[in-house]
Amino acid sequence: MTSAVTFQRVSRHYGSVRAVDEVDLDIAEGEFFAMLGPSGSGKTTSLRLIAGFEQPTKGHIEIFGQTAEGIPPYRRNVNTVFQDYALFPHLNVIDNVAYGLMVRGVPRAERTKAAEEALALVQLPGYGARRPGQLSGGQRQRVALARALINQPKVLLLDEPLGALDLKLREQMQEELKTLQKSLGITFVFVTHDQGEALSMADRIAVFNHGRIVQTGTPEEIYTKPVSRFVADFVGSSNVLPPELVERLTGNSRWASLRPEMLKMSLKASNGAMPARVVSTNYLGSTTRIALDMEGLRLHATVAAGTAVPAMDETVYLSFDRDRLHLMDDER
């Protein structure tokens, strides 16, 4: 498979701040790729390096095999959906969408037709005459998407595009974006700090922290086999077990992660089961999430709806399949 975007030891420093620090990255063509991390972790800067708004301090970037450093954004066949959408307030929706064709000198009739098609693609037909100020957040988001797609980019960059939408709309847009990406076959690079969004949408995820990529992999790999405490903490709500405990259980003095749904609870003591006290229970609809205190260690377990839920302050006995314990890279 061809690479859409590659980073070779790319760094972007601002004075002494290392926003992006020696990052290696390889995004395949046609992939839905998510950059996940807390704010200030370097994911947005990486996106801006691909778009051309930033230049690497060191390292080498290729887009479809071509050197990208020194190429201004307006000469890269890469388009961006901005976090604040950045719709031009002085233009109506049609002219916003057709902007990319206008600056390339496409005649008005032709570009209006293309813009209308693009609006239909994002399910906003007939909205062309409106001003961005007259649209809802979700509609602006769709216009921004249509505007970015009209230039037929080889890579579409999305900077937290769903961040400003409410939950219901967000879930709907997640599905639509995913479907759109598959039908267009364009490489999508998606920046988000929402792990649920990354897991549900992406083909592959790169987890960023402190300007570096700490793990790259499929959602399943990231979820079930986090390489470090940071990933385990940040992606989902894994239980992180300290080396002393892990050594007792497996003989390995390493940090380990355990998904909450892997933790089994029983009201009766049994061989090898560890006692813990129920601290709180949270009803989440399809599951109930239970917070437990085991000798000062905070753990979480989930039980499916319909199963019995232990009461507050009750003592339960915890056990799990040893195979499910995932050992991580961090040494003590």
Partner 1 sequence: MRSDRQTSAPLGLKLAAAGGLLFLHLPILLIFVYAFTTEDKSYQWPPPGFTLKWLGVTWSRPDVWQALGLSVRVATISTAVALVLGTLCAAAVSRSRFFGREAVSLLVILPIALPGIITGISLRSAFSIAEIPFSTWTIVLGHATFCVVIVYNNAVARFRRTSGSLIEASMDLGADGFQTFRYVILPNIGTALLAGGMLAFALSFDEVIVTTFTAGQQQTLPIWMLEELVRPRQRPVTNVVAMVVVLVTLLPILAAFYLTRDGDQVAGAGK
Partner 2 sequence: MSAASAVVAQTASPIILEGRSGMFGRLSDLFWRNPRLLLFLMLTPPLLWLGIVYVGSLFALLLQSFFSIDEFSGLIRYEFTLKTYGELLQPANLDIIVRTVSMAASVTLASAIIAFPIAYFAARYARGAWKALFYLGVMLPLWSSYLVKVYAWKLILAKEGILNWLFAKLHLTWLLEAWLSLPIVGGNSLSISYTGTFIVFVYVWMPFMILPLQAALERVPVNLVEASTDLGATPRQTFRKVIFPLALPGLIAGSIFTFSLTLGDYIIPQIIGTSRLFIGQAVYAHQGTAGNIPLAAAFTVVPMVVMGLYLWMAKRMGAFDAL
Which residues lie near partner 1 (CB under 8 A)?
Answer: 51-53, 72-75, 78-80, 82-84, 86-90, 99-100, 102-104, 147-148, 151
Q: How far is the CB of 72 from partner 2 (least distance, A)?
A: 4
Instruction: Name which of partner 2, partner 1, none residue 121 binds, using a CB cut-off of 5 to 8 Å depending on partner kind.
Output: partner 2
CA dihedral 101, 106, 109, 112 (to 10 degrees): 0
**Residues 1-40: x/- map of binding to partner 2 (CB under 8 A)?**
----------------------------------------
Helices 167-184, 137-149: crossing angle, 10 deg rounding: 10
Give the integer Cα–Cα distance in Å for 133 and 174. 24
Name the β-bridge partners of 20.
Answer: 12
Instruction: Name which of partner 2, partner 1, none residue 280 binds, using a CB cut-off of 5 to 8 Å depending on partner kind.
Output: none
Q: What are phi and psi of 192, to 5 degrees?
A: -155, 155
Q: Which of 64, 245, 247, 273 binds partner 2 (CB under 8 A)?
A: 64
Q: How far is the CB of 133 from partner 1 (least distance, A)?
A: 11
Q: What are phi and psi of 142, to 5 degrees?
A: -70, -40
Q: Which of 13, 26, 71, 245 binds partner 2 (CB under 8 A)?
A: 71
Pairing between β-strand 155-159 and β-strand 187-192 as defined by DSSP bridges: parallel
Q: What are phi and psi of 60, to 5 degrees?
A: -140, 135
Contact 165, 141 (CB under 8 A): yes
Name the β-bridge partners of 10.
Answer: 23
Instruction: Name which of partner 1, partner 2, none residue 51 binds, using a CB cut-off of 5 to 8 Å depending on partner kind.
Output: partner 1
Give the integer Cα–Cα distance in Å for 100 and 91. 13
**Residues 152-191: x/- map of binding to partner 2 (CB under 8 A)?**
x-x---------------------x--xx--xxxx-----
Taking CB under 8 A as the rule, does residue 66 contact partner 2?
yes
The CA-based angle 299-304-310, given to 5 degrees, is 55
Residue 311 DSSP class: P
Taking CB under 8 A as the rule, does residue 101 contact partner 2?
no
Instruction: Name which of partner 2, partner 1, none residue 99 binds, using a CB cut-off of 5 to 8 Å depending on partner kind.
Output: partner 1
Give the integer Cα–Cα distance in Å for 102 and 112. 9
Compare residues 130 and 277 and give the one whose CB is closer to partner 1: 130
Contact 224, 326 (CB under 8 A): yes
Q: Which stretch binds partner 2 (CB under 8 A): 87-95, 148-156, 209-217, 322-330?
A: 148-156
Q: Which residues bind partner 2 (CB under 8 A)?
A: 63-66, 68, 70-72, 74-78, 114, 117-118, 120-123, 149-150, 152, 154, 176, 179-180, 183-186
